[in-house]
Structure 1
Amino acid sequence: MLELARLDRPIGWWLLLLPCWWSSALASIYQRGPLHGRDLILFFIGAVAMRGAGSTYNDIIDRDIDTKVERTKQRPLASGRASVGSAKLFLAAQCLVGLAVLLCFNIFTIFLGCASLAIVGLYPFMKRISSWPQAVLGAAFAWGGLVGWSAALGALAPAPLLLYLGAVFWTIGYDTIYAIQDIEDDAIAGIGSTARFFGGRVRLGVGSLYMLAVFCVAGALLTAKAGVLAQSGLVLFALHLGWQAMRIDPRDGALALRLFRSNRDAGLLLFAGFAAEVLFTR
């Protein structure tokens, strides 16, 4: 069950968590108030639970496809080491943890969080019909860019919407890098991905997505009237993304995995800038 939830691969919940933390800290900047410590802890618990739930759901839906891809054929359901029935029970348990976390927030945030389930439910099917399943994953994984702000303020505004859009482009970019590992197997299995879509221009494609992400986050900071420390975090974030894009080699799956995982550090750099703005400029 630990493998179904990917608890042995924490990068997934980090990437789900970071937009929540960004958004919560951005709300603190806007409010000129302290960090919402309770919310940051709840987002951590919720991210671990819901990333596990999403991975379990994805494995249930994709168990036949996973047998055709070298990287995924040893997953518990694809390999037969776990039953579909037990996976469904585990999925329900993880969702209950996520629901318990969500009920700690205001009513607007509860409904907003529930709305993300429609996108999550759609994601596993997109690779069968589209070359851009990463866009749907981005819409789901970036949802915290809205939730962090709404948990603090009980509503949305232009700043979190821009932050959310930036997180969507960021997610599409890093998941394109991740998909480089599976280009050959995906072609055999008939699975679409942005890595296959960009082909030999994957470096340009990811670089463009990352540039859009930086522009959107910059707009969010401008709208929230953030200061120099938050902007410094964005500069470090942008430099890290640029470094990733320049290093991409579509023939090197091991490098792609390392670059993908480095996005935890990129996201933490941005959050550190936001947090410093809150802690040192009030």
Structure 2
Amino acid sequence: MHARVALWLDLIRWNRPAGWLLLLWPTLSALWVAAHGFPGWHLVAVFTLGTVLMRSAGCCVNDVADREFDRHVKRTAQRPVTAGRISVKEALALGAVLALLAFGLVLTTNRATVLWSFAALAIALVYPYAKRYVAMPQAVLGIAFSFGIPMAFAAVQSRVPLLAWVLLLGNLFWVLAYDTEYAMVDRDDDLKIGIRTSAITLGRADVAVVMACYGAFLAIWLAALGERELGWPFNLGVLAAAAQALWHWRMIRDRTREGCFRAFRLNHWVGFAVFAGVAAGYALK
């Protein structure tokens, strides 16, 4: 049984928390903005645990959907489903259990959040198949990875105001930035097997577009939250995020696999910087 659990943990990338941190920081930021400060431990716990569970469930679905592609990519060839150590049926069953646990958490909030959770689930299920049909599947991922924002507003305010969608748009640009870095790692393999990614679609414009997306993300959040008067802590957080983006440019400008993958793995610190600025800004108002 211990060996089986180890395989399940490998399937959900338990030892690689960067994935769920990329989802968590903008979701927590939205909670703080929606609540005009600390939203309470109940909502913090629901959205933190829910983020981990849904990202884990997403890994199960993604690995099933990509199992034929992953065997041709060096970085993913040994994933449990691709390597045949976990069956498709078992992976989907595990994903369903994790999604149901996350839904159980949502049921402790309100009707609006429950209803929006179905839209979030639908987008999460669509994404793994987007790369077969969409030239920029990272845009679909951007919506999926940003959907915690409207759900956070729904949980706090029982509605999703325009501000939530503006923040989602800004966050979508951040997802485009870091997932294009991720796609740059596998570009050579993806070209061989016919997968569509933003790194392939953008070609030599990839680095410039990644940096433009970082800029759009930070500019939109700055403009959207300007009227909240979060002061120097928020401005400092955005400045720290911008400094990290420039550091990432140094890592990706030569388009090496190692540099691009390192930039992707460190992106959660960009999100943390913005969240820290939001939380500190409200705390010191």
Which TM-score bucket, shorter chain as reference?
A: over 0.9
| Residue matched to 2:267 | 263
AA matched with 1:12: G
> Shift of the alpha carbon at 1:185?
0.4
| Residue matched to 2:34 | 27
1:241 equivalent to 2:241? Answer no
| Residue matched to 1:10 | 17
Relative to structure 1, the CA distance from residue 250 to residue 150 in structure 2 (aligned partners, 3 Å threshold; closer, same or farther) is farther
1:194 equivalent to 2:198? Answer yes
Count of residue correspondences: 278
> Shift of the alpha carbon at 1:131?
2.1
| Residue matched to 1:174 | 178
Query: Alpha carbon RMSD of aligned pairs, Å?
Result: 1.5
> Shift of the alpha carbon at 1:250?
5.0
> Shift of the alpha carbon at 1:222?
2.2
| Residue matched to 2:209 | 205
TM-score, reference length from structure 1: 0.94
| Residue matched to 2:4 | none
Partners of 1:214 and 1:130 in 2: how far apart?
26
TM-score, reference length from structure 2: 0.93
- Aligned to 2:132, the other structure's residue is in SS state coil
- Which of residues 129, 150, 153 is equivalent to 2:154? 150
Deviation string 1:191-213 (CA, Å, 9 cap, x unpaired) is 01111122222110101111111
Structure 2 gaps of 5+ residues are 1-7
- 1:1-282 pair list within 5 angstroms: 1-29=8-36, 33-281=37-285
The answer on whether the counterparts of 1:162 and 1:219 sit within 8 Å (CA) in structure 2 is no
Deviation string 1:53-78 (CA, Å, 9 cap, x unpaired) is 00100111111111111111111111
Partners of 2:186 and 2:114 in 1: how far apart?
36
The answer on whether the counterparts of 1:227 and 1:277 sit within 8 Å (CA) in structure 2 is yes
AA matched with 2:203: G
> Shift of the alpha carbon at 1:229?
2.1
Partners of 1:274 and 1:15 in 2: how far apart?
16
Relative to structure 1, the CA distance from residue 127 to residue 34 in structure 2 (aligned partners, 3 Å threshold; closer, same or farther) is closer
AA matched with 1:204: A
Structure 1 gaps of 5+ residues are none
Partners of 1:234 and 1:124 in 2: how far apart?
31
> Shift of the alpha carbon at 1:173?
0.7
Partners of 2:81 and 2:268 in 1: how far apart?
28
The answer on whether the counterparts of 1:18 and 1:268 sit within 8 Å (CA) in structure 2 is yes
> Shift of the alpha carbon at 1:246?
4.1
Partners of 2:74 and 2:251 in 1: how far apart?
24
Partners of 2:99 and 2:90 in 1: how far apart?
14
The answer on whether the counterparts of 1:25 and 1:36 sit within 8 Å (CA) in structure 2 is no
Partners of 1:274 and 1:260 in 2: how far apart?
23
Q: Which portions of structure 1, spanning 4 or more consecutive aligned residues, are displaced by more than 4 angstroms? A: none
> Shift of the alpha carbon at 1:179?
0.9
> Shift of the alpha carbon at 1:238?
2.3
